Structure 1
């Protein structure tokens, strides 16, 4: 397998590395935003009225600006080039992962992220090639929102930000730190910095074009619930909790699976 082939398409609910939630709400949507209010309110979304209005605004921006550009980008850009672009920005995000891993008391993950950055930045020609993954060196992505969760901010209210998409109050608080840990922030040339940010947005949006078909029902609720579940998964490092059926308290015997009350003689009278 070539290093160019290691780029994974961004998941619908993934908080994109190198983009502090930029337009994630838009990245998986197409068409008009639904204004239907869910009958069952989500306790994590007490500001749903406000959030839906911002979601609709973001959706219009995506429909008339970001999505058409992303479609054109994917049409004219060869797949290896798109993969290299994605690898480049993902590699820059390893710096943020390493710093937040240290803040969370995860030195092993920080070391893996640092190794990935050094290998891909050198052997991988500035991160265009993902040799670290070929070497089976992987690290869990970390950001400052996850760090705040580790420090005790467990639950947080859902919040849709103008232009920035789905977030939580906790993750929004962590945005300045995430920006400070992202190398593109320190590019002196304004034109280069803006161009890199725009390219990253377009590349991520292009990678999500095929995932729009996953959305079902009320798109606002679908994206909100998927985002919150994804963030919880990331904060807990993939731990889904104990399996209740694996608990010792469940003690079954043969009678629990018997055919009580069923007459074994099925012959007609």
Structure 2
């Protein structure tokens, strides 16, 4: 007898046995299937609610940060990398590289990002701002290849943009807060924006075909970014994870609202904050 014959006989036996118990289990199967479908529907609605949230620092923890247990684990991982790799590199970078060299390379890298800033500003319908950004890029590139910033002295200030901010400009909810490995604080919306931003960097195309040079540039960019916060890292005290999260959400909300021309006076204040209390405390510092 061929091996396939044994297979067919086995399958026939299993099917025969299954039909024997089918009638006894049909009601239970239907009930179980209904419960599974109901559970899936509930999970879907819960996930949909989480994704549609527009996270900000003033919200409750379970609203803005529903994945907090996982986020804190990722934060702990990032913190280990920072203390053992990123921060030591940043310290040595500031010690060994002259400040004017660091400033020039930072300006050069920033100038390469100006066209993408302008593209986002065009997408936001802010045409005069985009024209100013293109003007900055042209002046700085022609006069110094981007290693200096004469455009600022001419009154053409810079304005950082990213695709996540552009999505937020049009009212797309941020989704819950997420802590990304290595990359740090983000949200669902900004994580999607990061993908577009990474494809828009000129370095990706200028250094195409030379992976070593490309990743070296990315490493230098990260070390330089870390070096710029060495002097302010002591500001974070207590629950550093929560402070970093709320600062990120506040800064992102401020950036989007500012571009939309919304009022910003009370953006960083709690709803129950009373300016009279501050005045009273200033007049009675001993209390």
TM-score with structure 2 setting the length: 0.67
Are the equivalent residues in 1 in contact too, given 2:258–2:264 (CA < 8 A)?
no
Are the equivalent residues in 2 in contact too, given 1:44–1:157 (CA < 8 A)?
yes
Give 3-state SS (helix, strand or coil) of 1:137's partner.
coil
Q: Is 1:68 aligned to 2:74, yes or no?
A: no
- Partner of residue 133 from structure 1, selected from 145, 152, 157: 152
Are the equivalent residues in 1 in contact too, given 2:254–2:264 (CA < 8 A)?
no
Measured after TM superposition, the shift of residue 79 of structure 1 is 1.0
What residue in structure 1 maps to residue 248 of structure 2? 227
What residue in structure 1 maps to residue 105 of structure 2? 85
Q: Is 1:104 aligned to 2:104, yes or no?
A: no
What residue in structure 2 maps to residue 13 of structure 1? none
| CA separation of 1:240 and 1:210: change in aligned 2, threshold 3 A | farther
> Which of structures 1 and 2 has the larger relative contact order (alpha carbons within 8 angstroms, sep 6+)?
1
* Alpha-carbon separation, structure 2, partners of 1:192 and 1:117: 24
Give 3-state SS (helix, strand or coil) of 1:194's partner.
helix
Q: Tell me the alpha carbon deviations over residues 27-74 of structure 1, each in whole angstroms, 9 at most, x when there is no partner.
A: xxxxxxxxxxxxx72521111111000000011011111110110010
Give 3-state SS (helix, strand or coil) of 2:66's partner.
coil
Q: Tell me the alpha carbon deviations over residues 116-171 of structure 1, each in whole angstroms, 9 at most, x when there is no partner.
A: 111111212x2111111111101422210011112221342111011110001000
Q: Is 1:174 aligned to 2:207, yes or no?
A: no
What residue in structure 1 maps to residue 273 of structure 2? none
Q: Is 1:202 aligned to 2:218, yes or no?
A: no
TM-score with structure 1 setting the length: 0.72
| CA separation of 1:243 and 1:130: change in aligned 2, threshold 3 A | closer
Structure holding more helix per residue: 2
Give 3-state SS (helix, strand or coil) of 1:236's partner.
helix
Give 3-state SS (helix, strand or coil) of 1:129's partner.
coil
Q: Is 1:215 aligned to 2:221, yes or no?
A: no
Uncovered stretches (5+) of structure 2, i.e. residues with no partner: 1-59, 267-287
Are the equivalent residues in 2 in contact too, given 1:109–1:139 (CA < 8 A)?
no
Decide which structure has the larger Cα Rg and report it.
2
| CA separation of 1:152 and 1:242: change in aligned 2, threshold 3 A | closer
Alignment of 1:1-269 (within 5 A): 41=61, 43-124=63-144, 126-186=145-205, 187-188=207-208, 189-237=210-258, 241=263
Give 3-state SS (helix, strand or coil) of 1:156's partner.
coil
Number of equivalent positions: 204
Are the equivalent residues in 2 in contact too, given 1:92–1:183 (CA < 8 A)?
yes
